[in-house]
Structure 1
Amino acid sequence: MVERISDAEHAVMEVLWEESPLTAQDVSERVDPARGWSAATVKTLLGRLLSKEAVRHEVDGRRYLYSPAVQREDYVARESTRLIDRLFGGRLTPLVAHLAERDALSDQDISEIEALLKALKQ
Protein backbone atom coordinates (compact mmCIF):
# COMPACT_ATOMS: atom_id res chain seq x y z
CA MET A 1 0.00 0.00 0.00
CA VAL A 2 1.30 3.41 -0.99
CA GLU A 3 1.93 5.88 1.80
CA ARG A 4 -0.36 8.90 1.78
CA ILE A 5 0.76 11.61 -0.63
CA SER A 6 0.64 15.37 -0.16
CA ASP A 7 -1.36 17.79 -2.30
CA ALA A 8 1.82 18.84 -4.11
CA GLU A 9 2.78 15.22 -4.77
CA HIS A 10 -0.75 14.60 -5.99
CA ALA A 11 -0.32 17.32 -8.64
CA VAL A 12 2.72 15.42 -9.95
CA MET A 13 0.80 12.14 -9.86
CA GLU A 14 -2.02 13.67 -11.92
CA VAL A 15 0.50 14.53 -14.64
CA LEU A 16 1.89 10.99 -14.63
CA TRP A 17 -1.58 9.43 -14.60
CA GLU A 18 -2.41 11.51 -17.65
CA GLU A 19 0.71 10.46 -19.57
CA SER A 20 3.75 8.35 -18.77
CA PRO A 21 6.56 7.57 -18.81
CA LEU A 22 7.89 11.11 -18.57
CA THR A 23 11.17 12.73 -17.63
CA ALA A 24 11.31 15.14 -14.69
CA GLN A 25 11.53 17.99 -17.20
CA ASP A 26 8.42 16.70 -19.00
CA VAL A 27 6.54 16.57 -15.70
CA SER A 28 7.74 20.07 -14.82
CA GLU A 29 6.41 21.41 -18.13
CA ARG A 30 3.00 19.76 -17.63
CA VAL A 31 2.31 20.74 -14.01
CA ASP A 32 -0.09 23.66 -13.68
CA PRO A 33 2.01 26.79 -14.35
CA ALA A 34 0.08 28.63 -11.63
CA ARG A 35 2.06 26.58 -9.10
CA GLY A 36 5.25 28.34 -10.22
CA TRP A 37 7.40 25.27 -9.57
CA SER A 38 10.94 24.97 -10.84
CA ALA A 39 12.28 21.74 -12.32
CA ALA A 40 14.19 21.26 -9.05
CA THR A 41 10.94 21.34 -7.08
CA VAL A 42 9.40 18.73 -9.36
CA LYS A 43 12.51 16.54 -8.98
CA THR A 44 12.21 16.80 -5.19
CA LEU A 45 8.56 15.76 -5.36
CA LEU A 46 9.41 12.86 -7.69
CA GLY A 47 12.07 11.75 -5.19
CA ARG A 48 9.50 11.76 -2.39
CA LEU A 49 7.06 9.80 -4.54
CA LEU A 50 9.78 7.27 -5.35
CA SER A 51 10.51 6.78 -1.64
CA LYS A 52 6.78 6.29 -1.01
CA GLU A 53 6.69 3.78 -3.87
CA ALA A 54 3.97 5.79 -5.61
CA VAL A 55 6.10 6.11 -8.74
CA ARG A 56 8.80 4.02 -10.36
CA HIS A 57 11.57 5.01 -12.71
CA GLU A 58 13.68 3.45 -15.40
CA VAL A 59 17.01 4.64 -16.69
CA ASP A 60 17.01 5.92 -20.26
CA GLY A 61 20.56 6.99 -21.09
CA ARG A 62 21.39 9.91 -18.80
CA ARG A 63 17.81 10.53 -17.69
CA TYR A 64 15.08 8.84 -15.69
CA LEU A 65 11.63 8.08 -17.02
CA TYR A 66 8.92 8.18 -14.35
CA SER A 67 5.66 6.23 -14.29
CA PRO A 68 2.97 5.80 -11.64
CA ALA A 69 3.32 2.66 -9.54
CA VAL A 70 -0.32 2.88 -8.48
CA GLN A 71 -3.36 3.34 -10.69
CA ARG A 72 -5.36 6.53 -10.18
CA GLU A 73 -8.57 4.57 -9.59
CA ASP A 74 -6.93 2.51 -6.83
CA TYR A 75 -5.53 5.60 -5.13
CA VAL A 76 -8.86 7.44 -5.33
CA ALA A 77 -10.68 4.42 -3.89
CA ARG A 78 -8.25 4.19 -0.96
CA GLU A 79 -8.36 7.91 -0.22
CA SER A 80 -12.16 8.03 -0.50
CA THR A 81 -12.51 5.16 1.94
CA ARG A 82 -10.01 6.80 4.31
CA LEU A 83 -11.98 10.07 4.24
CA ILE A 84 -15.34 8.41 4.79
CA ASP A 85 -13.94 6.28 7.60
CA ARG A 86 -12.30 9.23 9.33
CA LEU A 87 -15.07 11.81 9.02
CA PHE A 88 -18.26 9.76 8.72
CA GLY A 89 -17.63 6.51 10.59
CA GLY A 90 -17.31 4.54 7.37
CA ARG A 91 -20.84 5.42 6.23
CA LEU A 92 -21.55 7.14 2.93
CA THR A 93 -25.05 8.39 3.75
CA PRO A 94 -23.88 11.02 6.29
CA LEU A 95 -21.42 12.37 3.69
CA VAL A 96 -24.16 12.81 1.08
CA ALA A 97 -26.46 14.32 3.72
CA HIS A 98 -23.71 16.75 4.74
CA LEU A 99 -23.21 17.85 1.14
CA ALA A 100 -26.96 18.23 0.62
CA GLU A 101 -27.34 20.32 3.78
CA ARG A 102 -24.58 22.65 2.61
CA ASP A 103 -26.17 23.08 -0.83
CA ALA A 104 -23.00 21.54 -2.26
CA LEU A 105 -24.93 19.30 -4.64
CA SER A 106 -25.97 20.73 -7.98
CA ASP A 107 -29.09 19.56 -9.81
CA GLN A 108 -26.77 17.60 -12.10
CA ASP A 109 -25.08 15.95 -9.07
CA ILE A 110 -28.48 14.92 -7.73
CA SER A 111 -29.55 13.51 -11.10
CA GLU A 112 -26.32 11.53 -11.34
CA ILE A 113 -26.73 10.16 -7.80
CA GLU A 114 -30.33 9.19 -8.57
CA ALA A 115 -29.23 7.41 -11.77
CA LEU A 116 -26.44 5.62 -9.88
CA LEU A 117 -28.83 4.47 -7.16
CA LYS A 118 -31.33 3.26 -9.74
CA ALA A 119 -28.58 1.27 -11.50
CA LEU A 120 -27.38 -0.20 -8.21
CA LYS A 121 -30.89 -1.38 -7.32
CA GLN A 122 -31.16 -3.37 -10.57
Structure 2
Amino acid sequence: MKKGPKISEAEWEIMKIVWTNKFCTSRQITEAIEKNTEWKPKTVKTLINRLVGKNVLGYKEDGRKYIYYPLIEEAECIKEANQSFLSRVYDGAIKKMLVSFIKENDLSKDDIEELKRILDERE
Protein backbone atom coordinates (compact mmCIF):
# COMPACT_ATOMS: atom_id res chain seq x y z
CA MET A 1 0.00 0.00 0.00
CA LYS A 2 1.30 3.44 -0.93
CA LYS A 3 1.91 5.58 2.14
CA GLY A 4 0.05 8.86 2.15
CA PRO A 5 1.25 12.05 3.76
CA LYS A 6 1.13 12.41 7.53
CA ILE A 7 -1.50 14.97 8.47
CA SER A 8 -1.41 16.63 11.90
CA GLU A 9 -4.50 17.09 14.05
CA ALA A 10 -4.64 20.78 13.14
CA GLU A 11 -4.30 19.98 9.43
CA TRP A 12 -7.19 17.50 9.77
CA GLU A 13 -9.40 20.39 10.90
CA ILE A 14 -8.55 22.32 7.73
CA MET A 15 -9.09 19.27 5.54
CA LYS A 16 -12.52 18.52 7.05
CA ILE A 17 -13.65 21.95 5.88
CA VAL A 18 -12.18 21.53 2.41
CA TRP A 19 -13.57 18.00 1.97
CA THR A 20 -17.01 19.25 2.98
CA ASN A 21 -16.99 22.28 0.68
CA LYS A 22 -14.82 20.91 -2.18
CA PHE A 23 -13.51 24.38 -3.15
CA CYS A 24 -12.68 27.13 -0.61
CA THR A 25 -10.77 30.35 -0.28
CA SER A 26 -8.51 30.83 2.73
CA ARG A 27 -11.06 33.34 4.04
CA GLN A 28 -13.84 30.71 3.89
CA ILE A 29 -11.61 28.19 5.65
CA THR A 30 -10.67 30.76 8.31
CA GLU A 31 -14.31 31.74 8.92
CA ALA A 32 -15.33 28.09 9.28
CA ILE A 33 -12.42 27.21 11.58
CA GLU A 34 -13.01 30.24 13.82
CA LYS A 35 -16.36 28.72 14.86
CA ASN A 36 -14.53 25.92 16.73
CA THR A 37 -11.09 27.33 17.52
CA GLU A 38 -9.33 30.52 18.48
CA TRP A 39 -6.84 30.25 15.64
CA LYS A 40 -5.71 33.43 13.95
CA PRO A 41 -5.88 33.80 10.14
CA LYS A 42 -2.07 33.56 9.97
CA THR A 43 -2.19 30.14 11.67
CA VAL A 44 -4.80 28.93 9.19
CA LYS A 45 -2.71 30.17 6.25
CA THR A 46 0.36 28.39 7.65
CA LEU A 47 -1.59 25.13 7.88
CA ILE A 48 -2.96 25.59 4.35
CA ASN A 49 0.58 26.14 3.04
CA ARG A 50 1.79 22.98 4.80
CA LEU A 51 -1.03 20.98 3.20
CA VAL A 52 -0.17 22.42 -0.21
CA GLY A 53 3.48 21.46 0.41
CA LYS A 54 2.44 17.91 1.30
CA ASN A 55 0.38 17.69 -1.93
CA VAL A 56 -2.82 17.23 0.04
CA LEU A 57 -4.33 20.53 -1.10
CA GLY A 58 -4.19 22.01 -4.56
CA TYR A 59 -5.09 25.52 -5.57
CA LYS A 60 -5.97 27.65 -8.53
CA GLU A 61 -5.73 31.39 -8.81
CA ASP A 62 -8.92 33.36 -9.32
CA GLY A 63 -7.86 36.97 -9.69
CA ARG A 64 -6.33 37.90 -6.35
CA LYS A 65 -7.81 34.88 -4.55
CA TYR A 66 -6.61 31.31 -4.27
CA ILE A 67 -9.22 28.59 -4.45
CA TYR A 68 -8.15 25.47 -2.54
CA TYR A 69 -9.35 21.94 -3.26
CA PRO A 70 -8.42 18.46 -1.98
CA LEU A 71 -5.90 16.39 -3.92
CA ILE A 72 -6.51 13.35 -1.73
CA GLU A 73 -9.86 11.78 -0.93
CA GLU A 74 -11.01 11.82 2.68
CA ALA A 75 -11.42 8.03 2.67
CA GLU A 76 -7.78 7.60 1.62
CA CYS A 77 -6.57 9.80 4.49
CA ILE A 78 -8.80 8.00 6.98
CA LYS A 79 -7.46 4.64 5.82
CA GLU A 80 -3.86 5.86 6.22
CA ALA A 81 -4.61 7.31 9.68
CA ASN A 82 -6.28 4.06 10.74
CA GLN A 83 -3.28 2.00 9.62
CA SER A 84 -0.87 4.36 11.37
CA PHE A 85 -2.89 4.24 14.61
CA LEU A 86 -3.21 0.46 14.47
CA SER A 87 0.53 0.03 13.95
CA ARG A 88 1.57 2.62 16.53
CA VAL A 89 -0.82 1.71 19.35
CA TYR A 90 -1.70 -1.97 18.80
CA ASP A 91 1.39 -3.27 16.97
CA GLY A 92 -0.79 -3.87 13.92
CA ALA A 93 -3.07 -6.32 15.76
CA ILE A 94 -6.60 -5.43 14.72
CA LYS A 95 -8.10 -8.03 17.09
CA LYS A 96 -6.44 -6.32 20.08
CA MET A 97 -7.79 -2.97 18.95
CA LEU A 98 -11.35 -4.20 18.38
CA VAL A 99 -11.48 -6.04 21.70
CA SER A 100 -10.19 -2.96 23.48
CA PHE A 101 -12.73 -0.65 21.82
CA ILE A 102 -15.63 -3.03 22.43
CA LYS A 103 -14.78 -3.55 26.11
CA GLU A 104 -14.15 0.13 26.83
CA ASN A 105 -17.16 1.65 25.08
CA ASP A 106 -20.90 1.36 25.51
CA LEU A 107 -22.48 -0.29 22.50
CA SER A 108 -26.15 -0.05 21.73
CA LYS A 109 -28.12 -3.10 20.66
CA ASP A 110 -28.08 -1.67 17.10
CA ASP A 111 -24.27 -1.29 17.25
CA ILE A 112 -23.89 -4.91 18.33
CA GLU A 113 -26.23 -6.15 15.59
CA GLU A 114 -24.36 -4.17 12.95
CA LEU A 115 -21.02 -5.52 14.14
CA LYS A 116 -22.38 -9.07 14.00
CA ARG A 117 -23.70 -8.46 10.48
CA ILE A 118 -20.34 -7.10 9.29
CA LEU A 119 -18.47 -10.05 10.79
CA ASP A 120 -20.95 -12.53 9.25
CA GLU A 121 -20.40 -10.93 5.83
CA ARG A 122 -16.61 -11.33 6.21
CA GLU A 123 -16.82 -15.11 6.80
- TM-score between both structures, scaled by the size of structure 1: 0.88
The Cα offsets for residues 40-85 of structure 1, whole Å up to 9 and x where unpaired, read as 2211110111111111111111110001111000010111111112
- C-alpha contact (below 8 Å) 1:3/1:52 kept by paired residues: yes
Alpha-carbon deviation of 1:112? Answer: 2.1
Unaligned 5+ runs, structure 2: none
Letter in 2 for 1:3: P
Partner of 2:107: 106
Matches for 1:44-83 after TM superposition, within 5 Å: 44-83=46-85
2:24 to 22, 35, 52: 22
Q: How big is the shift at 1:5?
A: 1.2
Displacement of 1:93 in angstroms is 0.9
* 1:41–1:21 CA distance, 2 compared to 1 (3 A): same
In structure 2, the residue matched to 1:9 is: 11
Q: CA deviation at 1:32?
A: 5.4
| Distance in 1 of aligned mates of 2:49 and 2:32 | 17
Alignment check: 8 A CA contact 1:11 1:31 kept: yes
Secondary structure of residue in 2 paired with 1:22: coil
- Distance (Å, rounded) in 1 between the aligned partners of 2:92 and 2:4: 20
Q: Classify 1:32/1:117 alpha carbon distance in 2 versus 1 (closer, same or farther; 3 Å).
A: farther
> How many residues matched?
120
2-structure distance, mates of 1:113, 1:68: 32
Q: In the alignment, which residue of structure 2 is the partner of 1:35?
A: 37
Q: CA RMSD in A?
A: 1.6
Return structure 1 stretches of 4+ with deviation > 4 angstroms.
none
